[in-house]
Amino acid sequence: MLEELIEKVAVLGREKFAPRAERYDREASFPFENYADLREAGLLGLCVPKRYGGLGADFATYCRVAAEMGRWCGATALTFNMHACSALWTGPLADDLDMTDAQRAELERLRAGHYRRIVEQGAIYAQPFSEGSAAAAGKAPFGTLAAKADGGWIINGKKIFASLSGAADYYGILCTEDRGDRSMRDTLYMAVPKEAAGLTITGDWDPLGMRGTVSRTLILKDVFVPDDAQLLPRGLYFKAASAWPHMFMTLSPTYMGIAQAAYDFTVQYLRGETPGQPPVKRRMYPTKQIAVAEMYVKLAQTRALFERAIDAAKVNPSKRERLDAYAAQYTIMENANDLCRLAIRTCGGQSMLKSLPLERLYRDSRCGSLMLPWTAELCLDRLGRETLYEPGETDA
């Protein structure tokens, strides 16, 4: 199944996504055509469990398929991550968590509706959790609040960098249940439909890279959603964030794909086989050969950590597996950008013209280290602490 899925995405990527990527990047516009193709190919339901009509991809399968997508269009892969997580978190990840029978029944009921929207109506989900505070780093409760009302919830707050803004059918909003003292344990995960009264999209979008994600600001002002808008029963998001840490690694496949694309571009360019370019060979220079060899080593090291970390992903991973996940995320995000840097240095001036994809890969790759909650800095921060301290240990 994995090979078939990867092949399907490779064909779409090569024939459709890659030729369109320059336009989305230039216009900073959302890849609607790519999503129509994903819908037609049945890939919107990639992570929806099979018994709900989806393709039933588990965590590692998702990561491998997403890495292939990232090879052809970073913005499509990054936004696809937001959509796919809505099914991954509520499906295979949630199934692993300790729950009461009542919670399990509630989960079944809530997600049945959610998956129906994806599989039968082709709905797309965004995943806005960033707020410009410590919440997205996983260090404070979300400032967006949901207050219980008759038959549903009233949500108020603001989300920054909401990829798929204006394109998603539903926004998977992470917010805190408003009941006095705010606690991360009270995090709720809510599907807010795009047409909800009180939901507005503001701000412009003209960033360095990942321009096709269209990640603008969402304002939620007294937005009412019914009870079944909850994507997870109360308390489950908090449990997942603690017990299934790899759930925050799902942005890295996009950048694994970009790293591969930078290497692929370099080989093709030095062989004089870049489409639309004069067939000038540059591969005979020993300096180029050494540079490509170094790129290959860096790519292989990066992929090795990626593969090991995604295969180890599970509920309650060992300390070593958790640390390896931080190390993999850090390495993928930093090395993707470094491989793009090496590609431009090695291929030379003409390779960074806007008529070729490399300069876009370079700009897109720069964004990887900035993605909360596992930014490159925060991966080091966690590694530093968790290597030296066991849970609960202090120096007091």
Ligand X SMILES: Cc1cc2nc3c(=O)[nH]c(=O)nc-3n(C[C@H](O)[C@H](O)[C@H](O)COP(=O)(O)OP(=O)(O)OC[C@H]3O[C@@H](n4cnc5c(N)ncnc54)[C@H](O)[C@@H]3O)c2cc1C
Q: Which residues contact 323 (CB under 8 A, 6 or more apart)?
A: 383, 386, 387
Q: Is residue 26 within the footprint of ligand X (CB under 6 A)?
A: no
Among 13, 93, 371, 374, binds ligand X (CB under 6 A): 371
Q: Minimum CB separation from ligand X for residue 132, in Å? A: 4
Q: Is residue 335 within the footprint of ligand X (CB under 6 A)?
A: no
Binding mask 31-70 for ligand X (x = CB under 6 A): ----------------------------------------
Among 5, 65, 136, 236, binds ligand X (CB under 6 A): 136
Q: Is residue 365 within the footprint of ligand X (CB under 6 A)?
A: no
Give the nearer residue to ligand X in terms of CB position, either 120 or 381.
381
Q: Is residue 163 within the footprint of ligand X (CB under 6 A)?
A: yes
Q: Is residue 215 within the footprint of ligand X (CB under 6 A)?
A: yes
Q: Minimum CB separation from ligand X for residue 311, in Å? A: 25
DSSP assignment of 153-201 equals EEEEEEEEEETTTTT-SEEEEEEEE-SSS--GGGEEEEEEETT-TTEEE
Which has the closest alpha carbon to 214: 75, 333, 77?
A: 75
Residue 91 DSSP symbol: I
Q: Is residue 213 within the footprint of ligand X (CB under 6 A)?
A: yes
Among 157, 245, 375, 382, binds ligand X (CB under 6 A): 375
Stretch that binds ligand X, among 277-285, 313-321, 374-382, 384-392 (CB under 6 A): 374-382
Stretch that binds ligand X, among 6-14, 132-140, 283-291, 297-305 (CB under 6 A): 132-140
Residue 123 DSSP symbol: -
Give the nearer residue to ligand X in terms of CB position, either 248 or 269.
248
Displacement of CA 299 from its chain's centroid (Å)? 20
Q: Is residue 214 within the footprint of ligand X (CB under 6 A)?
A: no
Stretch that binds ligand X, among 155-163, 261-269, 304-312, 340-348 (CB under 6 A): 155-163
Q: How far apart are CA 345 and CA 291, in angstroms?
A: 9
Contact assessment for residue 261 and residue 71, using Cβ atoms and an 8 Å cutoff: yes
Helix (H, G, I), strand (E, B) or coil at 139: coil
Q: Which residues contact 248 (CB under 8 A, 6 or more apart)?
A: 138, 241, 329, 373, 374
Q: Minimum CB separation from ligand X for residue 72, in Å? A: 17
Helix (H, G, I), strand (E, B) or coil at 150: coil
| φ and ψ of 145, to 5 deg | -115, 145
Q: Minimum CB separation from ligand X for residue 291, in Å? A: 28
Contact assessment for residue 188 and residue 143, using Cβ atoms and an 8 Å cutoff: no
Q: Minimum CB separation from ligand X for residue 180, in Å? A: 23
Q: Is residue 331 within the footprint of ligand X (CB under 6 A)?
A: no
| Both tokens assigned to 117 | 């929207």
Q: Is residue 137 within the footprint of ligand X (CB under 6 A)?
A: yes
Measured in residues, the chain has a length of: 396
Helix (H, G, I), strand (E, B) or coil at 34: helix
Question: Based on C-alpha coordinates, what's the Rg of the chain?
Answer: 21
Q: How many residues bind ligand X (CB under 6 A)?
A: 24
Note the residues at the interface with ligand X (CB under 6 A). 82, 127-130, 132, 134, 136-137, 139, 161-163, 210, 213, 215, 367, 370-372, 375, 377-378, 381
